[in-house]
Structure 1
Amino acid sequence: MLNRDSILPSIVRSPSRILGIILALVFTTEVFVMLVLPFILPDLLGKTGEAFFDAILLTLVCALPVWFVILAAKQAEQERITMARESEALKAQQMMTLAQLATGVAHEIRNPLTSIKMLIQVNKDKFAEEGLPTDDLELVVHEIRRMERSVNSLLEYARPERSEFAECNLQKIISNTAQLIENRCASQNVELNLNLLQFPALVEGDSAQIQQLLLNLVLNSLDAMPEGGTLTVEVSPSEETYEIIVRDTGTGIAPAVESRLFTPFVTTKDNGVGLGLGICKRIAEMHNGTLTGVNRPIRGAEFCLTLPLTHVNSQANMESELDSVNSQPETEAACKVY
């Protein structure tokens, strides 16, 4: 049996149902006033009295469904708030469980992996003399490192490092990131373009974490361009934020994960864990910024990181900085272009 709690939300979600109810009530009222009322009070009401009585009835009749709509809207909003709180509580519980799991994984897996890797590296020559192929040893070490990266990703997501905020220059962070991927760009025939500003782009944050975020984004872009392409990183200012754009000409974001891009453990990579973008998103939020990712209209993907300025510049200073950007061409970073 339906009760009021179930009926009201269904009404407020259906504008056609609301309109139908109001029209039915108005029609019934008009029929009553035009046909029934003259027989009940034939001589007491004149034309003016009938019109006045008609207006009062219509007001009362229309007020009832409007009141129900308002009540249903309040109930629907309360349900939305309750569901949001429950979702946040569930997410917090999941993070706590993940942290406990990560601690166990670190103790039970990472330490033995490190020991195995060290033993292989130390005794590699001895194993080679005994006839064990060195290629097999290198493969074992490679797989151990891959497992260590997966474990480290889990730990970083479950228990992030404490941030050390200070004034840092985005230009320097981006240049350092570019140096780390130069060799891989060369090996994949990827053209690397850095479009930086003419003035220091200063933000308040942890430079190591911001670099980790950018490095993760550019590595994802390189993974999407195994046969070559173009990778562009650029910085653009606004009145209160800087936008760092990472743009590639790769395969783009898979439609299956586009709506869940930053959800933990969602990945299309065969050997991926699905925590990299989640870590990036959290780092951006820790810096009071945002991180979004979309597919480009032609080809590839584009990620946009926004970070607040170190301080809100005066209007005159900001206008002079923007004028300098408009009057001078963007500089391409002094790094190799492949």
Structure 2
Amino acid sequence: MHFFRVSSLKTQLLIIILLAMLVPAAAMLYDIFIATKTDDVLINETEQKLIQITNLINEQMQREINISDEIRCATLSDIFNSVVVPLIEHYPGVRICLYERETDNIIIYGHLHEFGARLPEEKKERERRIYNETQAGIASVLSSGTPITRLGKTYDDRFLEHLVPIKNNNSEVIAVIWTEQMMHPIFAQSSRVRLVLRYIIFCVFGIGVAVTLFTISGIVNRIRIIKDGIIKMEKNLNNRLPEMSGEMGHVAAAINEMAQVLAEKEQLIDQYRRSENLMSMGRTITEIAHELRAPVSVIQATAQAMEINIKDTQLKDYVERIEQQVERHNKLINEILDFGRPDPGTMEPLDINDLVNSVLTTMEPLFSKADIMLEFKTTAQTPLIISGNAEKLKQVFINLSLNALDAMQQHGTLTIQTYSKDGYALVSVRDTGEGIAPEDLPNIFEPFYTKKARGSGLGLAISKRIIQIHGGIIDAKSEAGSGSIFTMRLPLQQICNAPEQD
């Protein structure tokens, strides 16, 4: 089967070209070697017969003409009649005619159309028709003064005629006699068949050439499409060749399938590499966090002990600053441990709307201070219940809210909207801040990737991990200068007639 697919394109082209060339060649060979020779045989036999008859009549008439020095028209006609009448019955199917130059009259004996039927004609009409059919031959003999043989045709037949000049004693052509015989019907049929064959040959040849050109053009265009597609695939394996018919379609499909396999393998390799990196990094940062926790705990305990025993107000203020920084370091260590060792904790039924409201209540004073308006919208008439860890999810909403606050700085609007769709509870967080640059957007969920001067780069990475361990998805859309929108999808535990939003 594979061999057929590989070789059939070449076979198809060869068959088309051979058909385009062999059929005309065969017809031409038939016309040259068979039909033409058959015609030659028929013509030669008839020609010899007509020459014999014409020469016989010519000799007898010339003898009679030479007897008299002066030939009158009636005498020429009488001579022709006296010579032809005894002969005509011996040559059935042969027409013997005389054309008198001086009087422009013709005399006709015999019948030409014994193989066919023609409607009865008046004598004058018949003579005029015969003269018109032979006029070219008569004119040629009158001008050249030599005998000729020609193949003539009527509207439905072919005939052969032999014309001979009649001369007077001064060698002037005074008349023309000719004999003619209709060719056998097979001759006319053969001529018509050959004519039809020629038309068929030209049509077949033209169609063959057109089909060949069309096929080659189609193949060239498809090869060009495949070549351009492969060039695009070199830059992006997600590009696909368009569907095609025939064998080029099989080639395009095979290339698309190969590109799909390569893309999947590349994605798997990238995921494996990222997983390895994350695992390695998780182990490293967990070890570092453990090592940091011990000295920080000692510093914290020492500061607390100092705070109890110090009475000086200024020194007490310094100790409080130390405790604040220790608390900040503890928070960072906890974030590192959360990222390196994610733990969903206790899962319980939660109402997304209640969870969002509690976060907004906590964050409201901070946003009011920055003159940022908070908006909460929901299209759900009933609770959107999910299974999750409230503290972990609050951490996600707080991270997103604080990022929005940093993006807007002063003034703006933070809009949080909840709705359900396809069995998921969706929460979107939209800000009117400066937005995220296109080159940064694909990397914002990567650990330690940040553009903030004092950021750790772990907030969004931890948020993504928390959403993932809840069986959800988080993504972001943004344009520089137009704000950002983060959307989380969490599987619903139950939904009671909650309207869905597209």
Using the size of structure 1 for normalisation, the TM-score is 0.71
The Cα shift of 1:107 comes to 1.7
Mapped contact 1:257–1:266 kept (Cα < 8 A): no
Q: 2:471 is matched with which residue: 282, 288, 293?
A: 288
Distance 1:137 1:186, change over 3 A: farther
Mapped contact 1:239–1:312 kept (Cα < 8 A): no
Distance 1:53 1:167, change over 3 A: farther
SS at 2:323's partner residue?
helix
Q: Does 1:268 align with 2:451?
A: yes
Q: 2:325 is matched with which residue: 134, 143, 166?
A: 143
Q: Distance in 1 between matches of 2:277 and 2:482?
A: 36
Mapped contact 2:20–2:209 kept (Cα < 8 A): no
Give identity over the alignment, percent.
24
SS at 1:264's partner residue?
coil
2:400 paired residue number? 217
Deviations, residues 221-265 of structure 1 (Å, cap 9, x unaligned): 222333243322222233522221222233332444222121221
Q: 2:359 is matched with which residue: 134, 159, 177?
A: 177
Q: Distance in 2 between matches of 1:311 and 1:50?
A: 73
SS at 2:430's partner residue?
strand
Distance 1:301 1:128, change over 3 A: farther
In terms of mean alpha carbon deviation, does 41-50 or 78-87 score higher? 41-50
Q: Distance in 2 between matches of 1:312 and 1:52?
A: 68
Mapped contact 1:231–1:247 kept (Cα < 8 A): yes
1:83 paired residue number? 266
Q: Distance in 2 between matches of 1:227 and 1:64?
A: 64
Unaligned runs of 5+ in 2: 1-8, 29-200, 220-245
SS at 1:309's partner residue?
strand
Mapped contact 1:170–1:203 kept (Cα < 8 A): yes
Structure number with larger C-alpha Rg: 2
Q: 1:160 is matched with which residue: 338, 342, 349?
A: 342
Mapped contact 2:24–2:204 kept (Cα < 8 A): no
Letter in 2 for 1:183: P
The Cα shift of 1:133 comes to 4.1
The Cα shift of 1:163 comes to 4.1
Deviations, residues 253-310 of structure 1 (Å, cap 9, x unaligned): 2444222121221111112121211222222233332212223797432222222322
Q: Distance in 1 between matches of 2:472 and 2:27?
A: 72
Letter in 1 for 2:427: I
Equivalent positions of 1:39-50 (< 5 A) are 42-43=25-26, 46=201, 47-48=203-204
Q: Distance in 2 between matches of 1:188 and 1:167?
A: 34
Equivalent positions of 1:66-215 (< 5 A) are 66-124=249-307, 126=309, 129=312, 133-196=315-378, 197-215=380-398
Deviations, residues 68-125 of structure 1 (Å, cap 9, x unaligned): 4333222222211211121121122112212211221122102211221231133135
Deviations, residues 168-213 of structure 1 (Å, cap 9, x unaligned): 1112211221232233224333333333444222123333322221
Q: Does 1:302 align with 2:285?
A: no
Distance 1:125 1:239, change over 3 A: same
Mapped contact 1:241–1:307 kept (Cα < 8 A): yes
Count residues in correspondence.
289
Q: Distance in 2 between matches of 1:86 and 1:235?
A: 36
Unaligned runs of 5+ in 1: 1-24, 326-338
Q: Distance in 1 between matches of 2:368 and 2:481?
A: 24
Q: Distance in 2 between matches of 1:255 and 1:82?
A: 26
SS at 2:434's partner residue?
coil
2:184 paired residue number? none
Mapped contact 1:189–1:227 kept (Cα < 8 A): yes
Q: Distance in 1 between matches of 2:22 and 2:480?
A: 70
Letter in 2 for 1:76: A
Distance 1:114 1:284, change over 3 A: same
1:38 paired residue number? 21
Distance 1:202 1:241, change over 3 A: same
1:237 paired residue number? 420
Mapped contact 1:257–1:267 kept (Cα < 8 A): no
Letter in 2 for 1:302: I
SS at 2:295's partner residue?
helix
Mapped contact 1:202–1:309 kept (Cα < 8 A): yes
Q: Distance in 1 between matches of 2:466 and 2:27?
A: 77
Letter in 2 for 1:201: L
Mapped contact 2:285–2:337 kept (Cα < 8 A): yes
Letter in 1 for 2:324: H
Letter in 2 for 1:215: I
